Amino acid sequence: MKLRNLKNSVPLSLSILLLLSCKPKEPALLLPVYGEKKEVAGDTIYHTIGDFKLTNQYGETVNRSTMNGKICVSNFFFATCKSICPEMSTNLTDVQKAFEKDDSVLILSHSVNPLHDTVEVLLSYATQYEAQKNKWHLLTGEKKEIYDLAKTSYLVNAFEDDGSPEGFLHSEFLLLVDPKGRIRGMYDGTDKAQVQKLIEDIRLLKKEK
């Protein structure tokens, strides 16, 4: 009895199914996504960093498009801060060193005292912490825009407070933002162990790409 050609006997629908099953899957989310999310036409829409336009320590414009396709570590500080800011900035040098040759990782530090923290002041501060050009942007601009960016985009506090010892309050968090602008982690920037976890999570996030 003649055997049938099995290749030709496989139904077309099954062949398509087999081909689809061999297609590489999109990488699963290896880290959580922070902020509200909603379902639109079957897709999940996540909270993302909104538009902004600020100026870095070299007088260059940094905006939302600067972040596109990059993994970013963001925080809020001010140059005359004597409490948590020096510790946060020192720990950010560890983040910079871990990815100093990796152009896909940026650091964005936003001043909550932009009236004092001019381009010249930020350049001096950047020099103190050896911030590399095009790697670590120290940002100034309109105070309201920076405060709104902290609250509505990064979901942290940043505001002027006459009752505080230094006149300003801001979050101690370092925020990890993925190439799509989604917040993927929050870490205590004064805690060495937390900063090391941030570095490890950046490497984990790169696997998602």
pLDDT at position 161, please?
59
Pairing of strands 61-63, 43-46: unpaired
Per-domain residue ranges for the chain? 54-208
- Positions of E strands within the chain: 37-40, 43-46, 53-55, 61-63, 71-77, 105-111, 136-139, 158-160, 168-170, 173-177, 183-188
Q: How many CB atoms lie within 10 A of CB 191?
A: 16
pLDDT tens-digit profile, the chain (209 residues) = 444 444 444 454 444 444 444 544 555 789 999 999 998 888 999 999 999 999 999 999 999 999 999 999 999 999 999 989 999 999 999 999 999 999 999 999 999 999 999 999 999 999 999 999 999 999 999 999 999 999 999 999 875 654 455 545 678 999 999 999 999 999 999 999 999 999 999 999 999 86
Question: Which amino acid would we find at residue 173?
Answer: F
CA dist 19 and 57 (Å) reads 52
pLDDT at position 11, please?
53
> What is the model's pTM?
0.83
CB neighbour list of residue 18: distance below 8 Å, 6 or more residues apart:
none
pLDDT at position 158, please?
72
Cα-Cα-Cα-Cα torsion 74, 76, 81, 84, nearest 10 degrees, comes to: -60
List for the chain the helix, strand, coil content (%; round to 5). Answer: 35, 25, 40
Exposed, middle or buried, 18 (CB in 10 Å: 0-12/13-18/19+)? exposed
Instruction: Look up residue 35 and give its two tokens.
Output: 């902020």
* Residue whose tokens read 């006459």: 162
CATH topology of domain 54-208: Glutaredoxin (3.40.30)
